[in-house]
Amino acid sequence: MKLVKVPFSAGGLGKTKGCELGPDKIIEKLKEFHLSEGGMLVNFETDEIKIDQSNIEKSFGDITENGKAILQNNDKPIFIGGDHSITYPLVKAFSSVYPEPGIIIFDAHPDCQSDFEPPTHEDLVVGLVKNNIIKKENIILVGLRNWHKDEYNFVKENKIKYFDMKELSMEGINEVSESVMSVAKNFGSLYVSVDIDVLDPAFAPGTGYPEPGGLTTRELLFFLHRLKKLQNLKAMDIVEVNPSKDVNELTSKVGAKLVVELT
């Protein structure tokens, strides 16, 4: 498996400093795992997209250009951030390589708050929709639990599919995962983005925007174990792990666990 480090933390409006440490720390924690829960050996090779933290536009261009080459030459690479803004240039690359792309985003927030150019970690979904990178009907948001009014309106007006934590709690994770799978399997190609703050901070304290009432690690793994069986899954990212805010390196180890279980 190809793991690609994307140590970019300048897309969080100054609030994600420390996320650039995430890739190296997650890869360090991989050494603590030997087999996946399915009995697979943990075997990977790493690559890195070089980043200029002082120049967002250049960094996004480099991420898109290098991401495209990586996607063309590797099966199901996992990109490790970095803040969530990296998903925008990565999906831009993804959409140029794979037909009829769709995305599932696991996140505590809908990331539709503003309309910056280039998009930040607060409005990457707006950027994907506005710039016609992914059809709005091919976007699924999972794990939401803290909205800004404008975000709620944007999601509703654009009829973006979402499953918030209240629905997950009421309907059950199996029912919701069935709903997600039934839509995602029809995408021409699937990209999965995991913002670590989708997890409850009891399981992932080392992130910039922890929100109570989130998924457990086991619930997120339940989703990922199912999604990785889809034939159209082509790439993934794990973002917003911030070692500078972590407690006992727990969040970094969770990030590594997700990588292991996606092998």
Task: Please tell me whether the overall predicted TM-score, pTM, comes out greater than 0.85 for this model.
Answer: yes
Q: What is the pLDDT of residue 5?
A: 98
What the block records as the tokens of 128 is 């994907």
Q: In this predicted model, what pLDDT tens digit does every residue of 38-93 receive, in sequence order?
A: 998 989 999 999 999 888 899 999 999 999 999 999 999 999 999 999 999 999 99
At 117 the pLDDT is 65
Q: Give me the pLDDT at residue 12, please.
A: 75
- Return d(Cα 260, Cα 263) in angstroms, integer: 6
Q: What is the CATH number of the domain that holds 57?
A: 3.40.800.10
Number of domains into which the chain is organized: 1
Residue 111's pLDDT is what?
80
Mean pLDDT of 6-20: 87
Residue entry with tokens 């075997």: 43
pLDDT value of residue 8: 94
The range of the structural domain enclosing residue 101 comes to 2-261
pLDDT tens sequence across 102-151 = 999 999 999 888 766 666 657 889 999 999 999 999 999 999 999 999 99
What is the predicted pLDDT for the residue at 165?
Answer: 98
pLDDT(95) > 80: yes
What tens digit of pLDDT does each residue of 168-201 get?
Answer: 999 999 999 999 999 999 999 999 999 999 999 9
pLDDT at position 112 is 86
Average pLDDT, the chain: 94
Question: Which residues, 6 or more positions from 51, have their beta carbon under 8 angstroms from its beta carbon?
Answer: 6, 7, 8, 20, 59, 62, 63
- What's the confidence (pLDDT) of residue 87? 96
| Contacting residues for 103 by C-beta, under 8 A, at least 6 apart | 91, 128, 134, 138, 139, 140, 190, 191, 192, 193
Residue whose entry in the numeric block shows the structure tokens 């091919």: 138
> Given this model, what pLDDT does residue 115 score?
66
Distance between CA atoms of 81 and 129, rounded to whole angstroms? Answer: 22
pLDDT tens for 203-259 read 999 999 999 999 999 999 999 999 999 999 999 999 999 999 999 999 999 999 999
